[in-house]
Amino acid sequence: MAYKLLSVLSTIALARAAVIVPGASWTDTEGNVIQAHGGGFLKVDTTYYWFGEDKVLDSTLFHAVSCYTSTDLETWTRQNDALTPISGTMISTSDVVERPKVIFNSKNSEYVMWFHSDTSNYGAAMVGVATANTPCGPYTYKSSWKPLGADSRDEGLFLDDDGTAYLLYASDNNQDFKISMLDANYYNVTEQVSVLTGATLEAPGVVKRDDIYYLIASHTSGWDPNPNKVFTSSSLAGPWSAQVDIAPEDTNTYYSQNAYDMLLGTNGIYMGDRWDVSALGSSTYIWFPLSWASGLPVIVEADVWSVDLAAGTYTIATGTTYEAESGTLGGSSELLTDSSYSGGEAVGYLGNGGTLTLNNILGIGEAQWISLYYANGDSTWRNTTLSVNGGANVVIQQPSSGGGHVIQSVPVKVNLKNGANILTFSSGQANYAGDLDKIIVYTTT
């Protein structure tokens, strides 16, 4: 869909540096959209390395495993590609390489990458391994195979405190989830240590906190999101607890799927993907704080936030809220009432002739983040247009929110003049937009 290409709209400033904005299109220090989907992370000294799938060709087929570096988790620089296709192997441009994860083998002073290795129809269900002497490599491909003779699709790695490494993987046609120990070189698995039979889990990550292991994973629903879960155990061998939601169930993990999970002081960071199957390269990243305040990791919803790595803390930005019902309704738009809406009201039937204008939106004279809180009960994406002070329309994508009365937010960055601004929604679009509950305008950029 042409509207997905937000970068062609000059009024949008893409997210780079300073803050984390879940769902925005993030760019690197060269201004290019970050291509690191299904990612894995590695810290070496004070530098973080982000490995992921380069989906710039909007295809499931292998293009490259990218490598980005950062010292603050907010500003990322692209380095050389860590892994590139090799014809005649299982990592050719006709094959699939997904969810790359890298760990360091201190015995061999070697970086070892594992990934989901597959054919284009996902029929091979293998793992692949590659090695390098430096974090970004380039990596030398070793081989692909079925671990212990069984399927492996979505996978992850976990390196325990004693240096023992484990493969986390969806197996047996995605019906069972397994954890197997790696050998001393991290080249192969040696034994299965745990199996969650019939769990139908994928997209796994494990963090260890206060000697408890937390397994975070999604269930299987193709490219569509579902409620991601957490399981706990005092041992990777289990037994594992019953599953518990890490976010309100009806939000489908804020329309995302887990990719990696990282500790941050006594808290953590959920690092997920918001897949856009119609344009995979435009898929965005959904990172949220994880809080253990309830005893289990729970996502803390945040439109705009930042981390202090030295302190091991995070800060959520605050903004100014403007209720949709306080604006001027135009055309066929209608006022909606329901307890799920902020203030009990929202504006619906936007688009296809229905508009909403919000006056006196205060700006600071520069590009600012605005979060649109909306409901889209469709299983497919909607979008809305936004015009600032009579300027050109910006198109904002609105994934399914999980129900007609389930509210989620999407970000957009636009230039607001100092003082009062006029925002007009859904003008000039033939399709229906999501119902608009409110907007929040942020000054933290």
Average pLDDT over residues 105-125: 98
Q: Report residue 338's pLDDT band, with 50, 70 and 90 as the boundaries.
A: very high
Tell me: pLDDT of 2 over 60: no
Q: Report residue 445's pLDDT band, with 50, 70 and 90 as the boundaries.
A: confident
Q: Report residue 18's pLDDT band, with 50, 70 and 90 as the boundaries.
A: confident
pLDDT digits (tens, 9 = 90+) for 32-65: 999 999 999 999 999 999 999 999 999 999 999 9
Answer for the pair 229, 214: CB distance below 8 angstroms, yes or no.
no
Q: Is 303 left (phi over 0), alpha (psi -120 to 50) or beta?
A: alpha
Q: How many CA atoms lie within 13 A of 312 on its CB side?
A: 8
pLDDT digits (tens, 9 = 90+) for 288-322: 999 999 999 999 999 999 999 999 999 999 999 99
Largest CA distance in the chain: 69
Within 8 A by CB and 6+ apart from 339, the residues are none
CA distance 256 to 247: 11
**pTM of the complete model beyond 0.85:** yes
Average pLDDT, the chain: 95
pLDDT digits (tens, 9 = 90+) for 234-293: 999 999 999 999 999 999 999 999 999 999 999 999 999 999 999 999 999 999 999 999
Tell me: pLDDT of 325 over 50: yes
Answer for the pair 386, 425: CB distance below 8 angstroms, yes or no.
yes
Q: Report residue 6's pLDDT band, with 50, 70 and 90 as the boundaries.
A: very low
